[in-house]
Chain A
Amino acid sequence: MTIAKKAFKNYRIWMISILAFLIVPLIKPSFISMNNIEGILASMITYGIVALGLAMTLITGEINISIGSVMAFSSVVFAIMVDKFPMVIAIAAALACSTLFGLIDGYFVAYKKLPAFMVSVAVMVSVRGLALAVSGEQPIAIMSDSVMKLGMAKVGPIPVLFLFFLVCVFLLEFFLQKTQTGRNMYAVGGAAEVAAAYGLNTEKYKCLSLTFCSFMAGLGGILLAIRMCSGSPSVGEDAMPSVLPMIVIGGTAISGGKGGMIKTLSGILLMNLIFNIMSMFNIYVNIQNLIKGGILLIIVVADKYIENKNKKI
């Protein structure tokens, strides 16, 4: 009994996902067709990568809403660079820019103690403007063959980019659970004062996590550009409301100090399944957005309600 309870507590999101795979095919057999499963896997890649970065930020107890703009900027930079230079240089340039934005964000939030979301609103606005300026306010097509091949490449039925995403998940999980820096991230997010009293440089870890979040957002933008074969300054406008539920459903608390990458993976899988199933049943896209907003509200309210239940003020 206790084992079952424990298993349910730790793996309930995985169980719900598996349940969906068992039940939905009874009504819609095409759900488990190879095409659809490939579609689900492919849809997990970009926002999944971004979710990993944001999960790291949430674990240290901060938040970064500039991810959508950073995605757009890095996809545009990648698209412009990749036709003129080798792909490695294009990727490096896009990632360097994204990391720089993250550093700006992290510097003001961690060292200057400004509220994280207001700083990221400022960064969001300017980076979106930069993306529009760099791209000339229109999408940029990628002509390079190697990018197209990379976007389509598969190992068996699984896209290569998805494998890359999985590798990222496991690497980051290892980093968070087994390395000193990773454990310190949890300490900083769970109780910043205690961590500081213990002698940890909390500012450094907060800055690091915000920079890393921006880095992953940049990586997500590049992957999106590879998959779409174009870079557009308007991608990622719904990044924040799409990504946040994935992380929080997985079990990472907004207040920080809890969570992990494998848990986040389960959240990413479940949210993508939900939207895939809704599309299967021909639910109108506006209603899907309504449900997305509803899920976000319920998650945030539940998470915060449990956290603040015993507070009087």
Chain B
Amino acid sequence: MSEIAIRVEHLGKRYRIGGQQARYRTLRESLVAAARAPWDQLRGVRPGKERYIWALRNVSLEVQQGDVVGIIGRNGAGKSTLLKILSRITKPTEGYADLVGRVGSLLEVGTGFHPELTGRENIYLNGAILGMKRGEIERKFDEIVSFAEIEQFLDTPVKHYSSGMYVRLAFSVAAHLEPAILLVDEVLAVGDSAFQKKCLGKMQDVARLGRTVLFVTHNMAAVENLCPESILIERGSIAASGRTETVVAAYNAQINKGLEASVDQDLDWVGDSEIRCVGVRLLDAERNPMSYLGSGQPGFIVLDFEAKKDDLVGVGVAVGIDTLNGTRVLTLWSEFSGQVFRLSAPRGSFLCALPEGLRLRPDIYLLSTYIGNQYRSPHVVINAAHLDIREVDFYGTGRLPDRSQGSLLVPHEWILR
């Protein structure tokens, strides 16, 4: 049996979330809070509006040396928190992790690149940031440059680079770091597909040299190719682990029922709204329940709610749609459509009618929900569910954009004059 490279025991991370989204405070807020605390206690008000969420709880796992393990799960499930703890960026709240040998992490491509500096200068800077010694960078310099294919632009400031070149250079520096354990977050989502393949190949090489790789991604094909074993993280704990096929199947099952799943009431609850979202569903044009929508095909997004009173006024509702990388694609908001609702029952549903459907590239997207009444901060559920947009011959030409060509489908025609 090979040696253990990573051992994680009962790891947990708790974050504080304030009444507002603001993460840092001003001194005034702290002073006011301190001054008010005794009064609040007298009045029996619980101190502050601070709430805590466990981004990760009771996670235990072992990874053998030389294993390449995929970590999958929905956005906000805790994958990135796990990587952040293992790469020492943030401390766990409880539990511990033992890591054998040098740990290299690649949580974001091009961290610390400075636009004013040239490619050559950025290689040194970025290498040092990732923990390489100067001699080490010098030794690997040529290799890094040729892998990134930027020879001619070595002395050009990177602000003049195309995004592809930028990503290539950044990945190349990180790939030539030679850690015993490599932690990689969703970094391959950027860059063109040829380069993605090259990067995956490089990671395979890394693994062949007996190094341990933890790989977070939404790209199921990449996980299946690269990682014999995987871990599925759901709501801060391990939902499945073992052979990748089984774990990916579990993940897919979860996505497919994603839109019917009710929203966990405590998790991610921000705000003091008197109304909250308890579920989100899809309906087709005939109002039959669906687990997906075709690109540009009419349907409904349904948001089930629960209110504290049965006569709330000034109720607004919104759904945000993000790509798996977390880029907002669009927001469907009652304020945009010029509507404000008055409730007459404590339970019910908002249907968002989409007569022209969602003109999005076939892919998995993430739905976030917002619901609130007047003068209250809304109940927000970030990444409440996956939204599966399936392929339809939208343009009638059999052609659809790939990921690098954007998410939106817009009917168009070219005219020569």
Are A and B part of the same complex?
no
B residues within 8 Å of A by Cβ?
none
